[in-house]
Amino acid sequence: MNLYELNKLAIEFRSDIGLNQESPLDFFPVITNKLKNLTIVFLEMDEKISGACFKVDSQQIMFINSKHPKGRQVFTAAHELYHLFYEDAVFTICNLNSNDEIEKNANQFASFLLMPINALYSYKKENNIEKWNLNSIIDCEQYFQISHEALLYRLKNSSDITFEEFNKFKPNIKNNAQYCGYDSSLYEPYIDKNYTIGNYVRLVEEVYRKDLISNGKREEYLIQSYLSDLVYNLEDL
């Protein structure tokens, strides 16, 4: 697919799940609310693996590297949506910096899903950005909650910044963001442990409420999905 087709696909995806075309996304709460059959598992993985996904019957499951910063985790999740909705493969593992054509398409889709072309254009116009600098880039990535590297690649690929500027703006992003008045949450993990959110938890609770499983089996399923805090009420301790 070319860039126009991938942007169109991302816009249609937003529309299909009831989102407008320019607003930033509080991604994980929004996507688990809109996609009722989606389960997201945050899992400790090798640093070079960003995530994975697979389909089983009507259920969609994605795995996100819990060691990566939030911006990267969000981008990975958007990337996995491309595999889940537009690829035939049942199981996919995604490595960082892959040159595979499908992975490139998934990356572009993720970039456009989080920040459609018109959304970036409107942001640039509303903020009177004639030439991007580090401060305006940090402001933009904070607004759209997109990873620093993903935004840099987007701007470089659209010739808004040069290769030299790409390399210049890339390092020390957490400190630079704090100097711009932002907290560091975008550059730290959204969830930094093995943990599950989304439909799996709802399904366990549903079958338990219908007396289809015992409380012991319910607790077993929750513990197996890294939700022992629910079983042992750890948040109340």
Same domain, 121 and 232: no
Instruction: Give Cα separations from 61 to 35, 113, 185 (angstroms).
Output: 11, 19, 25
Same domain, 169 and 90: yes
Q: How many structural domains are present in the chain?
A: 2
Does the residue 173 lie in any domain?
yes
Instruction: Give Cα separations from 13 to 86, 202, 226 (angstroms).
Output: 11, 24, 30
Does the residue 195 lie in any domain?
no
- Tens of pLDDT, residue by residue over 30-58, are 999 999 999 999 999 999 999 999 998 88
Same domain, 175 and 138: yes
Cα–Cα distance for residue pair 99/185, rounded to 1 Å: 29
- Residue 231: predicted pLDDT: 85
- Look over the chain and give the mean of its residue pLDDT values, rounded to a whole number: 93
- Domain housing 225: 200-236
Does the residue 101 lie in any domain?
yes
Query: Of all residues in the chain, what percent carry a pLDDT higher than 70?
Result: 98
Cα–Cα distance for residue pair 6/224, rounded to 1 Å: 37
Nearest to 17 by CA among 113, 160, 117: 113
Same domain, 136 and 207: no
Same domain, 158 and 225: no
- Residue 234: predicted pLDDT: 55
Number of H helices and E strands in the chain, helices first, is: 12, 5
- Tens of pLDDT, residue by residue over 122-170, are 999 999 999 999 999 999 999 999 999 999 999 999 999 999 999 999 9
Same domain, 215 and 170: no
Same domain, 181 and 218: no
Same domain, 113 and 204: no
Nearest to 78 by CA among 110, 55, 51: 110
Does the residue 194 lie in any domain?
no
- Section 214-234 average pLDDT: 89
Q: To which H or E segment does residue 165 belong?
A: helix 163-169
Does the residue 192 lie in any domain?
no
- Tens of pLDDT, residue by residue over 158-206, are 999 999 999 999 999 999 999 999 999 999 999 999 999 999 999 999 9
Same domain, 167 and 204: no
Bridging pattern class, strands 49-56 and 195-198: unpaired
